[in-house]
Amino acid sequence: MSDREEQVISTESEPVVEIVEEVQPDGSIIRKKKTTRKITKRVLTTGSSTLVSSSTNESEHASASTTTLEESKHELSTDATAITTDTTTTDTTTATATTSTTNTDNAGSAVDLSVDAEQPPSSTGRSFKYRFFGEGDSGNHPFYKYLAKFPLKQSPAPHTRSRPIKAILYAYAPGWHVGQESSLESEKSPVGSFDVESLKWMSYLKFNNIEFELKPAFEPGMSPSGKLPFLALPNGSFVTADGFESWVQDNKSQSAASKLDLQEAAEAVAFIALAESKIHAALLYTLWFEPSHFHTTTRQHYFGHYHWILTKVLSYMEKSNVASSMLLTRTQIDRELIFEEAATAIEALAVQLGDKDYFFGKSEPSGLDAVVFSYLHVILTMPRIRNAEDAGRSGELTRIVRKHENLFKYSQNIWKRWFAA
């Protein structure tokens, strides 16, 4: 159960109460009260890509013999049924249910569990719409049974899309393509990313041994959260930034990713915050506000797939978005200050890492490694701008990182072990 996600959606419909009057041979009237309640339980399993929908129809019959006009009162209590549904990981689905129902003594309980069962409609529950307009509910009225036969002939679907086996990661990809390692990569299957957030997801998934299929995407609008990257799961649901961490924790295999103890975890949070505020600002500045880099590289990578007019318009719009997002936390965009802070942050990381393979001397990478590696890799592989106007300004962040040989080695090693292989 550990390597797949399970979602249980349980829906309980309103109980339908029917009162049926039966005249007995001795003249008395028996009122039968029938309560029908439908409990539908859906188990969504990602690992096996099976979808089991089980529905329990629980009906209770309470009957009491009463004399003519006296109202019969029934105390009807239905305890919630506990259903445990287990699915095997093979394609054939088996569902077993154990149901415990406590009822009044004379009530017979019938539990029937079937895959994709339809609720047998009760005669009183038929709506106006159902009676007059055939759409919607399907029922046991002969006319609607007849109607349900249409269309008489079905042809195969003109468009089919097979369910993915692995989770699909929609992310900015591949990497810068110019720079130390990624230039050697084959063009066939995209690997890596020029976008820190995308690379972060990729490395975190890889560190936790979660298999995924990478699909290059450049359109944040396609994501349910409006931001790239995001994961599309085989069961049709999506994982966005909000649920990413918990989804990974639920789906990772036990052996992967080293566990940090409490103090290390607290330190890791601090370092992640450091990277995401200080290094991030310097990276954003380099990408969007160094004119040479913006014009020759950033724009092409984020918006290059559009028509050149749209590339220009949209990149300027994004640039102003970036500016306003940076100004949320600072009063002005001061290049010197930003790079000074970034240099301090990078130095702190270099000191913390030391000469170990991963942070805190672990044998396997952790979440902090995913974040730090993503920043270092993106910075180190940024294409070098060589022109007089730029005068090396775009390369400043890369030079700051290159000062720390251990960070360079660290980034290279992770790339070689997790991505290039």
Partner 1 sequence: MAAKQPTQEELAAHRMRQQEFEDAARQVQSLVDNIRHDPMKLHKVTVHGATKTRESFMHRILQPALDARSLHEVIGLSRQAVRRMERFGIFEDVKLQLDSTSEPWLQDRKDLIDLGIWVTEASRLQIKTGTEAGNAEASMYGAMTLKNVFGGAETLSTSMAFGTRTSSAFQFAFATPLLADPDKNLSFNLFSQARNNTQWSSYEEELKGGSLKYTTLSPLGYHEFAYEGNWREVCRPAEKASLSIREQCGHSLKSALTHMWIHDMRDEPLMPSTGHFVRVIQEYAGLGGDVNHLRQEVEAQVARSNEAGYIVSATVKSGYLHSLDGKRSKISDRFFLGGPMSVRGFKSNGLGPREGEDSLGGDAYMSAGVSLLTPFPGLTTRDAFKAHFFANAGTLVSVEPGQTAKKTVDDLTKAPSVSVGAGIVYRHPQVRIELNFALPLMAAKTDAVSRGWQLGLGISFL
Least distance in angstroms from the C-beta of 166 to partner 1: 14
**Segment interacting with partner 1, rule: CB under 8 A, options 32-40, 146-154, 261-269, 399-407:** 146-154
**Segment interacting with partner 1, rule: CB under 8 A, options 69-77, 106-114, 120-128, 305-313:** 305-313
Residue closer to partner 1 (CB basis): 23 or 157: 157
In terms of Cβ atoms closer than 10 Å to its own Cβ (0-12, 13-18, 19+), residue 177 is middle
Least distance in angstroms from the C-beta of 27 to partner 1: 45
How many residues sit close enough to partner 1 to count as binding (CB under 8 A)? 33
Residue 352, amino acid: Q
Least distance in angstroms from the C-beta of 226 to partner 1: 9
Least distance in angstroms from the C-beta of 167 to partner 1: 12
Q: What is the CA radius of gyration of the chain?
A: 31
Residue closer to partner 1 (CB basis): 292 or 300: 300
Question: Using the rule CB under 8 A, which residue among 2, 158, 186, 188 binds partner 1?
Answer: 158
Mention every residue, 6+ apart, whose C-beta is less than 8 A from residue 275.
345, 349, 371, 372, 375
Question: Using the rule CB under 8 A, which residue among 153, 263, 329, 331 binds partner 1?
Answer: 153
**Residue from 357, 364, 367, 164 nearest 248 by CA:** 367
157 part of the interface to partner 1, by CB under 8 A: yes
156 part of the interface to partner 1, by CB under 8 A: yes
Mention every residue, 6+ apart, whose C-beta is less than 8 A from residue 9.
41, 42, 44
In the region spanning residues 204 to 243, those forming contacts with partner 1, defined by CB under 8 A, are 217-219, 221-224, 232, 236
- Encoded one letter per residue, x for contact with partner 1 by CB under 8 A and - for no contact, window 255-294 reads ----------------------------------------
Cα separation, 152 vs 369, in Å, equals 60
**Residue from 58, 1, 5 nearest 231 by CA:** 5
| H or E stretch at 21 | strand 16-23
Can you say how many angstroms the Cα of residue 308 is from the centroid of all Cα atoms in its chain? 33
128 part of the interface to partner 1, by CB under 8 A: no
Question: Using the rule CB under 8 A, which residue among 128, 150, 324, 388 binds partner 1?
Answer: 150
Mention every residue, 6+ apart, whose C-beta is less than 8 A from residue 403.
none
134 part of the interface to partner 1, by CB under 8 A: yes
Residue closer to partner 1 (CB basis): 168 or 380: 168
Question: Using the rule CB under 8 A, which residue among 155, 263, 329, 331 binds partner 1?
Answer: 155
Cβ(207)–Cβ(366) under 8 Å? Answer: yes
Residue 421, amino acid: A
Least distance in angstroms from the C-beta of 10 to partner 1: 20
Residue 121, amino acid: P
Residue 62, amino acid: A
Residue 167, amino acid: A
Cα separation, 59 vs 109, in Å, equals 6
- Interface residue list for partner 1 (CB under 8 A): 132-135, 147-148, 150-159, 161, 168, 170, 217-219, 221-224, 232, 236, 306-307, 309-310, 314
